[in-house]
Every structure is written in C-alpha cells, then in structure tokens.
Amino acid sequence: MIRVVITGAGTINALGHTVPETLHAMREGQLGIGPLQMRDLDRLSVKIGAQIKNFDPESHFDRQKLALYDRVTQLTLLASREAMVQSGLEITEEQSETTGVVLGTAAGGMTTWDDNFRSVYEEGKNRVHPFVVPKLMTNAAASHVSIVYNIKGPSLTVSTACASSNHAIGLAFQMVRSGMARVMLAGGADAMLTFGGIKAWEGLRVMSKTACRPFSANRTGMVQGEGAGVFVLETYEGAKARGAEIFAEIVGFAMTSDASGIVMPNQQGAARAIRGALADACLSPQDIGYINAHGTGTAANDKTECAAVAEAFGAHADRVMISSTKSMHGHLIGGTGAVELLACLMALREGVIAPTIGYEHPDPNCALDVVPNVARQAKVTAIMSNAFAFGGLNAVLALRAV
C-alpha cells in the first residue's frame, strides 16, 4: 500500500496570515472573533465574525490578477504559496501530470456574487464586468492553483458545505494512496463574510450574537469565519527520497451520508464516519489521543457529536481529548476542516493540544474532555478530525505521527 504524508501546510485565517501565526494563536487560546467591519452593518442582526485582519490584496496580486481573483481565490493562493514553499517541492514538467489539486468550498466566489447582484439589482446597472463568471465559479480557486503551479493531473473542487475541506483532503489522500497521483495539493477555503452571506446564515437562526462557545452549557450558536488552508500530500517514498520534512501521515478517511435531515445532524451517520475512518486506518479508539471536533457551538451539533464520539469510542471516549478550535477562528464553512487540520498537526508534531476557548459551564450532554480554555501539553501519536455537513454529509480523517 502506498503511504501518504503531508509535507507542506499553508493558511490565512482570522488567527493569522501564516501557519506559524495561526499555531501560535491556537497555543495561546487567542480569539479571532470580533466586531464585523463591513458595509450596511446596521442592517445585520449578527454583528460578529472571524474576519481576516490587515489583509491587503494589492500587496500580493497585481491588478490584472485581481480582476480574476475573488477573495476566496486570493486566500487559497496565499495558503497554497505557503504550503508549496514549505514543502520545498518543485513541480517539474515531468511531474506535472501526476500532480493534482482538490479543494473544498461551500460558496465559491461569494464576494463576486454579492457585489454584482448589488450592481444589477440595487443600482440598476445593465452591464457587469466580463470576468464575473470565471471569478465566481466554485472551481476558480482550484483552477488558479493548477495554473500557478503547472499542475496538470486530476484537479477538482468538492462542495459539501461544512465538510468540503475534509472531503477534499480525503479524496486527495485516496488519489495518492491508489497511485492515481504522486503529489496532491488539498484543502479548502471560503469567504462568505459578505452582507448576503451573513444575511443567509442569520435567517437560519443558529448564529450567536456574542461568542462561539462549543460544548459549553451556555452556548448560543455558531460564529462565521473566513480563510483558507492548503496542504501538500505526497507519497512517503517520494518525500523520503527528496529529503522533505514530513509533518504527519494520513492513514484513514471515511465519508458517510445521514439520509435524514437537511440541517439536523445525525448521531448514527457521524458515528459511522468515525468508525469508518478508524477501520480504514487500521486503528482502534485507544490509539487516538485527540479529536479535532466539528464543534460548531450549536446545540444540535455539539450534543450529537459528543454522542457519536461516545458511541464510536465506547469507554475510551472519556479519555480522548476533543476540542473545537472554531471557538477561536470561527466556522470557515467549506474551509474549516483545512484550518482545523493545522491543530491536528500541532498535536502530532509539538504535543500541544489546542483548546476550546470561551468555555464557561459544563453541559451534561457534552461530558467529554473538551480541553477547556487553555492549551495542553500531551503526547499523542494518532488523531482524528471530524466534519459533519449540512445535508448530512460526513467526512472524518485519521492521521498518525511519523
């Protein structure tokens, strides 16, 4: 069997513009959520979010490029650049056909949709910029990554709401493991913090107006974030041969569908995905030291997720650490699993477990070790990362230290 390892990581999110900045924030339990800054804020009832601060697109991309890059593409390209630089990988002409990119996004070019709807509906304009379609299409980010890095193998975008990144990373893992590709860039991004994007989430009435407090009895809902996370996946043999630094090995992936509610999570579907990833990885619950939870901070998710972990892990559920870093970086929707994988790499490589911040009161329905408020030193050799999407599509990854 071909072994698959991660040799590069990149991100930009509310906690930092790079991986080191993000991991520092996670270690310190910093809060990336704050008052939103955007037009027409007075018309929103949800006024907080995890926005990326001090981000100046012009300092990274020239005018011609910006005409084609929606915010989500910009964020993806910055994360990809960091991951590629860190991996030290040069994609030669010969390697380009065995290299691909799979990215997850729920909304794609939301800013472009938002701005142009305003222009034609509100301002009554009858003409839009010629690049609106290539800018907003959900595969734009994956396509631009392939263009920038001369990637000519299997490339696509997956869109499974809040599980998009985990599905993308899982598919890329399977492509390398099966021999379909030798190198894959994988991860995801979303930039839904637009007026229309927030309005849509507001409508569902699951958003908190104060803070994201996963697993805490007084939680009041989810908080939206934005950003990107991208990883370089390659064969263990290839990474060894070129002397690359190996961050971790991806050993298992499973996806399941609930076939029940369009927004309500389902314990059986989630537990089946957790068990499936363990089986795929040939690991038992006792091997897992840390779970990065989906942990949205909604009553429905947190209760169901804890019950699913208890079901899949049995007695070991009381010993495994499980935290939700969404409490810090918010819910990046389709990009969330990628940024959360950084917390998993930190656990495996540095022995630091990122905390669930904002935790105030224990909830008997979430009676697991949620690593409240303060990061913890602990040696773990295998971890899992959960993602349970609206629509009942679940994707769970299992990783091991190398």
Partner 1 sequence: MSVKDKVIQIIAEQALLDAADVRLSATLEDLGIDSLGVVESIFAIEEEFDIEVPFNANAPAESEFDISSVSAIISAVEALVAEQT
Residues touching partner 1, count (CB under 8 A): 16
The least distance separating partner 1 from the CB of residue 6, rounded to whole angstroms, comes to 35
Is residue 221 involved in binding partner 1 (CB under 8 A)? Answer: yes
Q: What angle do CA 49, 394, 384 make, to 5 degrees?
A: 80
Q: How many CB atoms lie within 10 A of CB 310?
A: 18
Contact flags string 180-209 toward partner 1, x per CB under 8 A: -----------------------xxxx-x-
Is residue 1 involved in binding partner 1 (CB under 8 A)? Answer: no
What's the token pair of residue 124?
A: 């009554």
Contact flags string 65-104 toward partner 1, x per CB under 8 A: ----------------------------------------
Active site residue 361: no
Spatial CB neighbours of 365, under 8 Å, sequence gap ≥ 6: 302, 303, 306, 307
Residue from 144, 329, 331, 344 carrying the catalytic annotation: 331
Contact by Cβ (8 Å): 259, 366? no
Which one of residues 264, 282, 367, 378 is an interface residue with partner 1 (CB under 8 A)? 264
Active site residue 331: yes
Is residue 260 involved in binding partner 1 (CB under 8 A)? Answer: no
Contact by Cβ (8 Å): 357, 31? yes
Binding positions for partner 1, 300-329, rule CB under 8 A: 300
**Cα separations in angstroms, 343 against 180, 290, 310, 311:** 28, 10, 22, 24
Is residue 261 involved in binding partner 1 (CB under 8 A)? Answer: yes
Q: Which is nearer to partner 1, 203 or 364 (CB)?
A: 203
Q: Which is nearer to partner 1, 232 or 306 (CB)?
A: 306
Residue from 17, 144, 162, 344 carrying the catalytic annotation: 162
Is residue 219 involved in binding partner 1 (CB under 8 A)? Answer: yes
Which one of residues 2, 263, 282, 378 is an interface residue with partner 1 (CB under 8 A)? 263
What's the token pair of residue 377?
A: 């030193």
Q: Are strands 183-190 and 99-104 parallel, antiparallel or unpaired?
A: parallel
Spatial CB neighbours of 141, under 8 Å, sequence gap ≥ 6: 72, 73, 76, 77, 103, 105, 108, 157, 189, 228
Kindly provide the b/e burial profile for residues 330-354, where b requires at least 16 CB atoms within 10 angstroms of the residue's own CB: bbbbbbbbbbbbbbbbbbbeeebbb
Q: Which is nearer to partner 1, 82 or 302 (CB)?
A: 302
Q: What angle do CA 360, 340, 157 make, to 5 degrees?
A: 140
The least distance separating partner 1 from the CB of residue 239, rounded to whole angstroms, comes to 44
Which of the residues are catalytic? 162, 294, 331
Residues in contact with partner 1 by the rule CB under 8 A: 45, 203-206, 208, 219-221, 261-264, 298-300
